């Protein structure tokens, strides 16, 4: 601990792009890969491929935005895969019974309730560590996933088989507001709202303070319990929004379809530069992280890298990012 470096006087919040890139070399690496791909693979620079990239980012971004607050507060939410699956099947099966609008509202409510259940369990466990939040939400992920499977008896539900109007889903999938697609607009709205919460509000400050030092923040009157409820509620709700976008896009709901998003959301947040230890991060970084991750997947696909190898690449990136962060922290602490 004491060995590393000189005391740095007057170090303030990192602001310059140079510092930022030095602290986030993974950005440079992925952008490098994109440049290489665009040279060796002509299909990369086609409009349809860009469309692909935006579509893939469209689902992930909601889950990752919610995950950002959870991680910034020093916790984890592994349940979002289960929540996405559950919300997807509930929403689709409800359409014929209550109509598309109410079905979506029910879906979002289910997501919100799942988030509240998570926070309730974490608060009642009392000790409030990241590890506990990890195990509790992992357990709940299994529960939500199982409920989804039981609810539809494991069967895939097709949106297109609906006998009533599904125009909202169609609009989310292919509609446009001016030059931008509907779900892009949704993602922008969600990002802006969360960014305002993060930068300007008491709620947002409470999130980073909780992640920075829970004990000190609590002793100074920061409402830790309320913050925990809020971050999991947001995470559940945004996962539900992601589920609705996903359903619109693939026009079906499968009780296991949410599974890959948990890993990807955490990966996107961490690649973006938010510290897994909490106290430092931004939803804006996460947006960048989502695009980097999607670009990475896209490049690997175009270069013909098998999906097995892609899993390995994710794992390696996760480890590198965490390793770099540890090194950075050691440097700052001196």
Partner 1 sequence: MVEESGPQALLSIKDVSKEFPGVKALDRVSLEVSGGVVHGIVGENGAGKSTLMKILSGVYEKDSGEVTFEGRVIDKTSPVESMNMGLAIIYQELNLVNTMTVGENVFLGRFAEAGGRRGVHAKARKLLDSIGSKVSTHKMVSELSVSDKQMVEIAKALSFDSKLIIMDEPSSSLTNDELEKLVKIIHDLKAKGIAIIYISHKLDEIHGFCDIVTVLRDGHVIDTRKVSELSRNQMISMMVGRTIDNEFPARPESAGETILEIKNINTRKLKDVQLTLRKGEILGLVGLVGSGRTELVRALFGADKVSKKTVFIDGKLVEIKNPIDAIKLGLALVPEDRKHQGLLLGFPVEQNISLAVLKRLTTYGFINTSEEGSVSDRQIKALNIKTPSGRTLIRTLSGGNQQKAILGRWLEMKPRILILDEPTKGIDVGAKYEIYLLMKQIVEQGGSIILISSELPEVLHMSNRVHTISDGRVNGEFDPAVASADEIMERAFQFA
Chain contacts with partner 1 (rule: CB under 8 A): 2-3, 6-13, 200-203, 205, 208-209, 212-213, 215-223, 279-280, 332-333
* Residue number with CB closer to partner 1 (222 or 271): 222
* Residue number with CB closer to partner 1 (120 or 175): 120
What's the gap between Cα 156 and its chain centre? Answer: 24
287, exposed or middle or buried, with CB in 10 Å at 0-12, 13-18, 19+?
A: buried
CA 145/CA 313 separation, integer angstroms: 26
What's the gap between Cα 314 and its chain centre? Answer: 15
By C-alpha distance, which of 17, 21, 22, 27 is closest to 296? 27
Category of 213 on φ-ψ map: left (φ > 0), alpha (ψ -120 to 50) or beta: beta
Coil vs helix vs strand at 281:
coil
Q: What is the smallest separation between the CB atom of 333 and partner 1, expressed in angstroms?
A: 7
Which residues are 26's β-sheet partners?
none
* Residue number with CB closer to partner 1 (47 or 221): 221
Around Cβ 177, how many Cβ atoms within 10 Å? 11
* Residue number with CB closer to partner 1 (6 or 127): 6
Q: What is the smallest separation between the CB atom of 217 and partner 1, expressed in angstroms?
A: 7
Q: What is the smallest separation between the CB atom of 220 and partner 1, expressed in angstroms?
A: 4
Q: What is the smallest separation between the CB atom of 182 and partner 1, expressed in angstroms?
A: 28
* Residue number with CB closer to partner 1 (145 or 278): 278
CA 232/CA 178 separation, integer angstroms: 34
Coil vs helix vs strand at 258:
coil
CA 284/CA 269 separation, integer angstroms: 10
Q: What is the smallest separation between the CB atom of 202 and partner 1, expressed in angstroms?
A: 4
Q: What is the smallest separation between the CB atom of 24 and partner 1, expressed in angstroms?
A: 17
Phi, psi of 177 (to 5 degrees): -115, 105
* Residue number with CB closer to partner 1 (279 or 289): 279
């Amino acid at each position: 601990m004491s060995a590393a470096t000189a005391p740095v006087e007057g170090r303030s919040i990192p602001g310059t792009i140079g510092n930022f890139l030095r602290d986030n070399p993974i950005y440079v690496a992925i952008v490098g890969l994109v440049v290489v791909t665009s040279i060796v693979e002509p299909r990369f620079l086609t409009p349809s491929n860009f469309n692909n990239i935006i579509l893939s980012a469209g689902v992930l971004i909601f889950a990752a935005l919610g995950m950002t607050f959870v991680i910034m507060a020093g916790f984890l939410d592994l349940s979002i895969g289960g929540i996405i699956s559950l919300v997807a099947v509930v929403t689709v099966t409800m359409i014929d019974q209550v109509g598309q609008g109410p079905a979506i509202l029910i879906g979002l409510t289910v997501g919100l309730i799942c988030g509240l259940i998570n926070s309730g369990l974490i608060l009642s466990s009392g000790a409030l560590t990241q590890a506990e939040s990890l195990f509790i939400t992992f357990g709940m992920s299994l529960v939500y996933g199982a409920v989804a499977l039981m609810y539809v008896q494991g069967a895939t539900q097709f949106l297109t088989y609906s006998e009533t109007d599904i125009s909202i889903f169609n609009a989310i999938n292919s509609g446009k507001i001016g030059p931008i697609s509907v779900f892009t607009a949704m993602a922008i709205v969600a990002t802006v709202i969360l960014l305002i919460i993060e930068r300007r509000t008491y709620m947002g400050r409470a999130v980073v303070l909780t992640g920075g030092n829970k004990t000190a923040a609590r002793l100074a009157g920061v409402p830790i319990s309320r913050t925990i409820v809020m971050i999991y509620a947001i995470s559940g709700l945004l996962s539900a929004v992601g589920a609705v976008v996903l359903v619109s896009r693939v026009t079906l709901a499968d009780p296991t379809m949410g599974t890959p998003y948990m890993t990807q959301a955490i990966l996107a947040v961490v690649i973006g530069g938010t510290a897994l230890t909490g106290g430092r991060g931004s939803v804006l970084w996460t947006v960048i992280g989502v695009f980097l991750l999607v670009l990475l997947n896209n490049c690997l696909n175009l270069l013909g890298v098998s999906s097995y190898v892609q899993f390995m690449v994710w794992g390696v990136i996760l480890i590198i990012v965490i390793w770099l962060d540890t090194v950075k922290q050691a440097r700052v602490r001196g």
